[in-house]
Structure 1
Amino acid sequence: MLKIKNNLKILFINYSNISVSNLVKNESNYTQLSENDYINNAYINQNPRNLEQLRYERKPTGYGLENYSVDYWNRLFFEATNKHTSAWVEHNKGNIIVSASTKEWGIAKLLYSYTDVCATINIARMLADRCLKAGINFVDSKVFASDFQSEKLKIFCQTLEDEGLCLKEPEHIVPEKCGLRKPKKTNKI
């Protein structure tokens, strides 16, 4: 529908019945400027962690006799040594996804000390920012509020939560069984 108002042509398009690909293909005066203007209808997701983010992938449970249980997708690690403070998020397959440390020059040049509480807060802020930008909203932390023995660890976890990173991973979604179900047998005599 074309509406004229104050010598200006305004085009109103109802998008409820039109898909984007049909709109581009069926428009008569459309000229393709480059090969990047083509809209592909078949989208293939190449993100290997997509099922984890949608919570459809099962968490690995490991074996019962293992010393170290792997029942998480992403786990948070914090390390405070005599010289540096560092934290990282590790995937259950052993890959480090996101990390922040006072060994990085960009962080180290802004800090007075690499091991104090201020460094811990800044490492937590940087790690939370990097996790959220990477699409990681939930991490598993085996540390609970009652288990805080160190002030640095308590402040680290509190800062992560204040920045928007959840320290508990949700459970995976169990899909419902679909398909034909066999009717129950009835004993008729």
Structure 2
Amino acid sequence: MLLVLLFSWSCTGNNGAGGNAETDFFPLKEFMEVQAEKITGMTLFKEVKVNGEKESNTFVPEYEGWLKELEFFIQADINRPALAQAYETQRSERFLIHELKEGEKGKIKKIIVEYLKGEVKQISFQSKTENPFYTSQTRGVVGIHGVTKLIDNFAIETVQEVIFSKPNKIVISAHLRN
């Protein structure tokens, strides 16, 4: 089921736009790729609930495995030339918020980067995909350890609704240890 979810996410992700337009958006994809390198060798404790049925797993992913585990966050990156004008950005000492402008099209509705003393503390996103037959809403949050500056935990919640079917609710929660 999780593979189906990841596959459907990746099929709706990249719009294929090319170019070198600059944006002021947080580099989420690059941030996750660097983190994946740094956390390679750490143990992942992961719990997946699909419609209330729980499955737990503990393992040590290699770099490519970490990229798969963090795929939701990588796919939430909005640094694409086609989206350069689609988001409003608010900045403060503690937050960087990118929110989809009203009337703009994009599945990523909001990204919030929280800082503590100038360092990334937490990143969250909200996405929504819908058409007359299907709706999918996803929220994700990743916490960064204050001392190591590495991913400490993450959670993803997705609700998928297909017309004439019961909604599917998937909740992934994970934490890392050396």
> Is the TM-score greater than 0.5?
no
Higher strand share: 2
Q: TM-score, normalised by structure 1?
A: 0.18
Bigger radius of gyration among the two: 1
Point out the structure with the larger helix share: 1
